[in-house]
């Protein structure tokens, strides 16, 4: 059979032959998978978020702003910002130090440290709060001493900060460790051989190499620090205007059947989550090439 006969024999049916890569599923399956995921996202993520905003604005914009600027709500917002402003930098320092130690050095107990970092992920936040009550509460060993010194940890801001740090400390370290392990020690060795001091190596080589992962870790850490409920609830004591963070304030308002105000404050937390997502996406889109470059060479 000549080539010509071969092609002409195939040509009429050519439009019917549909080539697809072997790893791409049939159209029906693809559409089905996409629909299932969208339905799930819609039902469990989008719908509740929309509901939060709808409820928050049900009473109109004036009622919304009034609920937010009401003194107890404003105090809760300030406290939340304060707690985040203390706990995020603490975990930034801890996360970088832990990741640096685990990824770049060999030492005894390295895998134990690596496992311990995950502890807050596996421990219930309520227990995290109880730990601090057992440590610093009036029945604890430290309790009498703290009391005689006039230091209030539990049912006060220090307790809330401690509980928040505990719950959020894996976020930065977990983002950094895999990346730093992948990057190895070569860049640092090169910088040292070129005469850089340890300080210069860290700030001019190590840190820039992980800056995007670090920023992402900080964003996640911040979102969790502001949104933490369980651990903070245990140590806070729920004193309105004093030890109530935003999530606790939402709960109190809700329990008082003050739905409009509860949803107004809740919508701020939801906005924070959306803001975190948007910033992350924008960064990824804007610096895609640079981010890719820090991952591979």
Partner 1 sequence: MNAINPIDAVESVALGAPIDVTIENVEKAFGDTPALHGVSLDVKAGELVALLGPSGSGKTTLLRILAGLDAPTAGRVLFGGDDALGLRVQDRNVGFVFQHYALFRHMTVYDNIAFGLTVRPRAERPPKAEIRKRVLHLLDLVQLSGLDKRYPSQLSGGQRQRVALARALAIEPRVLLLDEPFGALDAQVRKDLRRWLRELHDQTGHTTFFVTHDQEEALELADRVVVMSKGQIEQVGTPDEIYDAPASPFVFGFIGESSFLPVTVVDGAVQLDGTPLDLAALGAPSGAATLGFRPHDISIVEGDAPAIVGQIIAERRHGGARRLELEVGSARHRVEIDMAVDHTRQEGGLVAFRPHRWRLFPR
Binding residue (CB under 8 A) for partner 1 from 114, 152, 258, 294: 294
Residue 217 contacts residue 176 (beta carbons within 8 Å): yes
Residue 221 contacts residue 171 (beta carbons within 8 Å): yes
Is 288 a binder of partner 1 (CB under 8 A)? no
Instruction: Specify the residue, 27 or 204, whose C-beta has the smaller distance to partner 1.
Output: 204
Q: Report the SS3 class of residue 239.
A: coil
**Minimum CB–partner distance for residue 288 and partner 1 (Å):** 12
Number of residues that bind partner 1 (CB under 8 A): 24
Is 273 a binder of partner 1 (CB under 8 A)? no
Contacts of 273 (CB under 8 A, 6+ apart): 223, 227
Q: Report the SS3 class of residue 256.
A: coil
Binding residue (CB under 8 A) for partner 1 from 3, 195, 255, 285: 195
Residue 249 contacts residue 230 (beta carbons within 8 Å): no
Residue in the structure block whose two tokens are 């919304």:
64
Is 290 a binder of partner 1 (CB under 8 A)? yes
Instruction: Specify the residue, 191 or 261, whose C-beta has the smaller distance to partner 1.
Output: 191
Binding residue (CB under 8 A) for partner 1 from 208, 256, 284, 288: 208
Binding residue (CB under 8 A) for partner 1 from 80, 209, 243, 276: 209
Residue in the structure block whose two tokens are 């401690």:
162
Binding residue (CB under 8 A) for partner 1 from 15, 23, 111, 193: 193
**Minimum CB–partner distance for residue 187 and partner 1 (Å):** 5
**Minimum CB–partner distance for residue 204 and partner 1 (Å):** 7
Closest Cα to residue 88, out of 161, 4, 178, 190?
Answer: 161
Q: Report the SS3 class of residue 178.
A: helix
**Minimum CB–partner distance for residue 58 and partner 1 (Å):** 49
Q: What is the DSSP string of 107-161?
A: -TTHHHHHHHHTHHHHS-HHHHHHHHHHHHSTTSSSHHHHHHHT---TTSHHHHH
Instruction: Specify the residue, 192 or 242, whose C-beta has the smaller distance to partner 1.
Output: 192
Is 197 a binder of partner 1 (CB under 8 A)? yes
Interface residues toward partner 1, by CB under 8 A? 186-187, 189-197, 200, 204-205, 208-209, 211, 289-290, 292-294, 296-297
């Amino acid at each position: 059979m000549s080539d010509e006969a071969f092609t002409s024999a195939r040509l009429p049916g050519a439009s019917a032959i549909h080539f697809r890569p072997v790893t791409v599923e049939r159209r029906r399956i693809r559409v089905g998978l996409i629909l299932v995921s969208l339905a799930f996202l819609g039902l469990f993520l989008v719908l509740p978020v929309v509901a939060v905003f709808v409820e928050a604005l049900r009473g109109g914009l004036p009622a919304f702003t009034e609920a937010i600027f009401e003194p107890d709500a404003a105090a809760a917002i300030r406290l939340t910002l304060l707690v985040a402003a203390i706990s995020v930098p603490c975990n930034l320092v801890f996360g970088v130090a832990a990741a640096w130690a685990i990824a770049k050095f060999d030492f005894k107990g390295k895998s134990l440290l690596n496992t311990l970092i995950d502890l807050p992920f596996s421990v219930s936040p309520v227990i995290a709060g109880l730990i601090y009550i057992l440590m610093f509460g009036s029945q604890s060993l430290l309790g009498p001493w703290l009391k005689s010194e006039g230091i209030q940890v539990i049912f006060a801001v220090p307790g809330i900060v401690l509980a928040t740090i505990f719950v959020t400390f894996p976020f930065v370290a977990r983002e950094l460790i895999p990346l730093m392990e992948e990057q190895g020690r070569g860049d640092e060795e090169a910088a040292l051989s070129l005469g850089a001091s340890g300080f210069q190596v860290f700030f001019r080589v190590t840190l820039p190499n992980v800056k995007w992962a670090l920023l992402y870790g900080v964003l996640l850490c911040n979102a969790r620090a502001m949104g933490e409920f369980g651990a903070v609830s245990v140590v806070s004591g729920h004193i309105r205007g004093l030890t109530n963070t935003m999530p606790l304030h939402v709960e109190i308002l809700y329990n008082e059947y003050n739905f409009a105000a509860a949803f107004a404050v809740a919508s701020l937390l939801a906005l924070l989550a959306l803001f975190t997502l948007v910033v992350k996406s924008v960064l990824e889109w804007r610096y895609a090439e640079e981010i890719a470059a820090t991952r591979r060479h």
